[in-house]
Amino acid sequence: MPNTLTADESTTAGAAPVAAADGLSAPAAASLAVSNVSMSFGATEVLHDVSVSVPSGGMLALLGPSGCGKTTLLRIIAGLETPSGGSVRVGDRTLVDGTSAQPPERRRIGMVFQDWALFPHLDVATNVGYGLPRSVRGAERTRRVRDALDMVGLVGLEDRMPATLSGGQQQRVALARALAPEPAVLLLDEPFSNLDASLRAQVRTEVHELLVGLGITTVIVTHDQEEAFVLGDEVAVLADGRLVQQATPAELYRRPTSAWVAGFVGDANLVAGRMAGAEATTAVGSVALAQPLGDGDEVAVLLRPEDCKLLAGGDARVQLVEFYGHDTMYVVALPDGTRLSVREAATPTHRRGDAVTPVYAGGATVAFPPESSTLLR
């Protein structure tokens, strides 16, 4: 088995590298289709007509603020909640529709909960084997458990209790438990939120590599934009129980469909402009638009901070300088009161109070009706 750390090293390191096991079978490729799903708890509508899809072997990140319905959607896919409308299909199997619903144990769906939900009174091996069918017994059951632990780098810890493990190890036990039954679809609900910041990125990369290697269809819930962009082949953004956009991370970032999405998925300057042909005139000059609007229309133009740069001298003033090591963020006040964020991949070249001229140096961008945005003032 191709682990790079022994059990003892894994215990002290806190997070051993993830490696695919030879013995555990890769799951059969299966697409996931959620169609027009709605869900209400009493008079409160939590999801409204949500449709998302994941191709076989794809990874979808469900992104949105707390309370937008992400976890509820995950629980509906898993069979832990029954929607008030809509359907869920995995491959050619209908899991739930308006007439029937398969129970969770028949769906071939694995789930990793936010708090990992390990049984504190059961050792690691028993936790991992808990989701296996009763028909899997004896040597076969032992092999399946060991192979799942091998994938997440925890072979040798079978007899340990959850309380004796680090946070990273507990998270990977939960992942091994979800993978042991060889599911067609894997669901992860904020899987890294309980990890220390220093461990989170490392474990996230390890899990990402494992899931890509297995080719398992995966849905990951997160409220972290960076995490969604790193993990998702596509990202589905939810707000107030509604799907507002599903697209690749690059498309979502460069072509958001609303000012709210633009601000939610990254730093966004929304500056006032007026349409002139295929461009908008703004306080930082003319900006090309990917989808021009009517001549003379007032718009709010999206300018990402990294697409702006500062020239020395001018009638704008640097108000704030934040150096992050790999780049520098400036907050600049324009003469009309507009505040503009500018990110440059360099050490600071301007100081607070410096006179500067901000210019736009990016490609064609998008614009929105002015009433849909909050101009940065």
Q: How do residues 344-368 score in pLDDT, each as one tens digit?
A: 998 999 999 999 999 999 999 999 9
Residues 278 and 142 in one domain: no
Look-up of token digits 């994938």: 151
Q: Is residue 192 part of a domain?
A: yes
Give the 3-state secondary structure of residue 71: helix
In this predicted structure, the answer to whether residue 3 has a pLDDT above a threshold of 80 is no
Reported confidence tier of residue 28, pLDDT bands at 50, 70, 90: low
Q: How do residues 56-75 score in pLDDT, each as one tens digit?
A: 999 999 999 999 999 999 99
Residues 248 and 279 in one domain: no
Looking at residue 34, which CATH number applies to its domain? 3.40.50.300
Q: Is residue 261 part of a domain?
A: no
Residues 294 and 189 in one domain: no
Average pLDDT over residues 22-26: 47
In this predicted structure, the answer to whether residue 373 has a pLDDT above a threshold of 90 is no
In this predicted structure, the answer to whether residue 5 has a pLDDT above a threshold of 50 is no
Average pLDDT, the chain: 87
Q: Is residue 349 part of a domain?
A: yes
Looking at residue 294, which CATH number applies to its domain? 2.40.50.140
Q: Is residue 262 part of a domain?
A: no
Q: Is residue 329 part of a domain?
A: yes
Residues 168 and 127 in one domain: yes
Residues 49 and 96 in one domain: yes
Name the region of 241 (left: φ>0; alpha: ψ -120 to 50; beta: rest): left
Give the 3-state secondary structure of residue 6: coil
Burial of 313 by CB count in 10 Å (0-12 exposed, 13-18 middle, 19+ buried)?
exposed
Last residue of one domain, picked from the residues 209, 232, 254? 254
What is the spatial distance between Cα 286 and Cα 194, in angstroms, rounded to a whole number?
Answer: 45
Last residue of one domain, picked from the residues 230, 254, 278? 254
Task: Sheet with 242-247: list strands edge to edge.
Answer: 109-112, 185-189, 217-222, 59-63, 234-239, 242-247
**What percent of the chain stands above pLDDT 70?**
90
**Domain region containing 359:** 267-372
Residues 136 and 196 in one domain: yes
Q: Is residue 139 part of a domain?
A: yes
In this predicted structure, the answer to whether residue 238 has a pLDDT above a threshold of 60 is yes
Last residue of one domain, picked from the residues 203, 233, 254? 254
Residues 77 and 140 in one domain: yes
What's the N-to-C CA distance of the chain in angstroms?
58
**Total residues found in the chain within this entry:** 377
Residues 12 and 98 in one domain: yes
Q: Is residue 260 part of a domain?
A: no
Residues 70 and 184 in one domain: yes
Give the 3-state secondary structure of residue 297: coil
Reported confidence tier of residue 193, pLDDT bands at 50, 70, 90: confident
| Domains contained in the chain, number | 2
Q: What is the pLDDT of residue 346?
A: 86
What is the spatial distance between Cα 193 and Cα 190, in angstroms, rounded to a whole number?
Answer: 6
Residues 237 and 338 in one domain: no
Residues 319 and 285 in one domain: yes
Chain center to CA of 109: 19
Residues 199 and 302 in one domain: no
Q: Is residue 180 part of a domain?
A: yes
